[in-house]
A = this chain, B = another copy of it.
């Protein structure tokens, strides 16, 4: 695996693989060196240290995520389409986006999508601070949702019912509700539903 000379790009590539498969904790300098068939210290020459290696990985990820084209006819559906695509992209790299996030670079990841969102908000009639707020609300909603999903996905598994949902006046009178809450949530449905709900309200403000 190390026929030619070691290059910074090779180091980044191997590190990216490791993080994408087993998470940041699995990335150890020694393990990486072993994987590349070199001494640990060579890696330090190419990337500085572990922290700046992670920085470089994050930078890479940020650049990989390109612009996103909206689809649909109304501004509302177009915004929701951007949100869903964004979620898809983030979903493909759960560990990386967590790292992007820890480094406070979330805004950067969102810049390309932000332009599309701004355009849609504008054609929907939102202006000024109100438009900005709508755009940001959508951004926060998307990242927030994905973060929740990631944590859930990487966790061992939601211990279900250890402390089962209590029967309350409301759930006793509405067994369908009780059943729905007992089932684990369907993230896809939930995402689309709450995204639609949010966008609908945000754009409605523009009409008035």
Tell me if A144 and B148 are in contact (CB < 8 A): yes
When the two chains form the complex, which single residue of B106, B132, B151 contacts A180, counting CB atoms closer than 8 Å? B132
8 Å CB interface, A116-165 against B: 118-119, 121-122, 127-129, 131-133, 135-137, 140-141, 143-145, 147-148, 151-152, 154-159, 162-163, 165
Does A101 sit within 8 A of B, measured CB to CB? yes
Say how many copies of this protein the assembly contains. 2
Knowing A144-B141, A201-B198 touch, does A102 contact B155 (C-beta < 8 A)? yes
Tell me if A119 and B194 are in contact (CB < 8 A): no
Does A188 sit within 8 A of B, measured CB to CB? no
Tell me if B197 and A101 are in contact (CB < 8 A): no
Residues of B within 8 A of A26 (CB): none
Residues of B within 8 A of A5 (CB): none
8 Å CB interface, A158-208 against B: 158-159, 162-163, 165-166, 168-171, 173-174, 176-177, 180-181, 185, 189-190, 193-194, 196-198, 200-202, 205
* Interface size class of chain A, counting residues whose CB lies under 8 Å from the partner chain: 35 or more
Which of the segments A13-21, A30-38, A39-47, A107-115 contacts the partner chain? A107-115
- Nearest chain B CB to A156's CB is how many angstroms away? 6
Does A8 sit within 8 A of B, measured CB to CB? no
Which residues of A are in contact with B by a Cβ distance under 8 Å? 101-108, 111, 114-115, 118-119, 121-122, 127-129, 131-133, 135-137, 140-141, 143-145, 147-148, 151-152, 154-159, 162-163, 165-166, 168-171, 173-174, 176-177, 180-181, 185, 189-190, 193-194, 196-198, 200-202, 205
